[in-house]
Amino acid sequence: MKLSVAIPESALSDESLKIDKTRKISVLARACAIFKIDTIYVYQEGSKKTDSGLMVMILKYLETPQFLRRRLFPKMNDLKFAGVLQPLKIPSHITPVNSKKIKAGDIREGIIVNIKGKKFVDVGINQLIQYYGNTTTGKRVTVRFKEGYPRLSVKDVDKSEISTYWGYSVKERANLFSVLSEWKGNIIITSRKGKPISREQLSKYAKSDEHTLVVFGSPERGVHEIIGGRMNKVQNAKSLNFFPNQATETIRLEEALLGTLAIINANN
């Protein structure tokens, strides 16, 4: 089952300090990586931006391999507490630095650099590799090695062609309805007002070829309250309760994300 999630930037509103907001985003990113989330949609709940920029920035930063971060992310206030972030350690991050270990077929993330008018790709090994693709200088690129050591030649590869999990993408949206209205696959709305989840229901999603979006509400309002009267315009959506016997008054986003995705994964 191919999964994406929609989460509110207001999930950070219950943390007053930026270091605590940073830690929470790290937990969210780890949960998404563990359960192979394809795309994280960060939506605004109200008319004003509050923490959406911070959340999007740190989610993208964490998904970027460590050796690329200094080049792609300049020093900025949003990354002031990057030292507390937990690494994702997904396959795109776990790569040898010794070029002698590179084999044909290996896939790497890199950045395009220009040296004396020629383009090269830096993939985090001890040498640059000439690049003949269309990606512009300074941009991130995913490449597959056509030849391993010592010749080391590469070509562009689309993430859809990679069999292993290669990381999530992050998209920012002005509101939740815009996310739901543009979605073409199945939609699971997590809600304590929903029907208690069952194995039968989850098996239908697992057997479906459609991409599934799992939607989470905010600390103050559930998805139905956020969408309001436009809920009947949302297609292919099921409202499900993943915690039917919860004892706590509320469930935090990081708890809901880990719990919900674990339940889906166990039945996938």
Residue 198 is assigned to a structural domain of this protein: yes
pLDDT score of 88 more than 70 = yes
Tens digit of each residue's pLDDT (9 = 90 or more) over 144-180: 999 999 999 999 999 889 999 999 999 999 999 999 9
What is the DSSP annotation of the chain?
Answer: --EEEEEEGGGGTT--SHHHHHHHHHHHHHHHHHTT-SEEEEE-SSSS-SSHHHHHHHHHHHHS-HHHHHHHS---GGGTTGGGPPP---TTT---S-GGG--TT-EEEEEEEEETTEEEEE-SSSS-EE--SSPPTT-EEEEEEEE-TTT-EEEE--GGG-SS----EEEEES-HHHHHHH--SEEEEEEEEEEEP-HHHHHHHHH--S-EEEE---SS--HHHHHGGGGGG--SEEEEES-TT--SS---HHHHHHHHHHHHHHT-
Question: Can you give the residue range of the structural domain that contains 81?
Answer: 3-89+167-266
Q: Are residues 20 and 131 in the same domain?
A: no
Mark which of 138, 161, 184 sits at the end of a domain: 161
Average of per-residue pLDDT across 42-59: 88
Q: Are residues 176 and 257 in the same domain?
A: yes
Q: Are residues 68 and 111 in the same domain?
A: no
Q: Are residues 185 and 244 in the same domain?
A: yes
Q: Are residues 122 and 139 in the same domain?
A: yes
Q: Are residues 40 and 128 in the same domain?
A: no
Residue 69 is assigned to a structural domain of this protein: yes
Q: Are residues 7 and 54 in the same domain?
A: yes
d(CA 264, CA 188): 11
d(CA 258, CA 31): 6
Residue 225 is assigned to a structural domain of this protein: yes
Residue 173 is assigned to a structural domain of this protein: yes
CATH of the domain at 37: 3.40.1280.10
Number of domains in the chain: 2
* Band (228; pLDDT cuts 50, 70, 90): confident
Q: Are residues 147 and 182 in the same domain?
A: no
Residue 195 is assigned to a structural domain of this protein: yes
pLDDT score of 121 more than 70 = yes
Q: Are residues 205 and 151 in the same domain?
A: no
CATH of the domain at 122: 2.40.50.140
Mark which of 161, 183, 202 sits at the end of a domain: 161
Q: Are residues 149 and 16 in the same domain?
A: no
Residue 94 is assigned to a structural domain of this protein: no
Q: Are residues 72 and 204 in the same domain?
A: yes
Q: Which two tokens stand for residue 144?
A: 């597959």
pLDDT score of 49 more than 70 = no
Q: What are phi and psi of 187, to 5 degrees?
A: -130, 125
pTM attached to this predicted model: 0.95
- 64 or 250, higher pLDDT: 64
Average of per-residue pLDDT across 109-137: 95
Mark which of 134, 161, 188 sits at the end of a domain: 161
Q: Are residues 131 and 191 in the same domain?
A: no
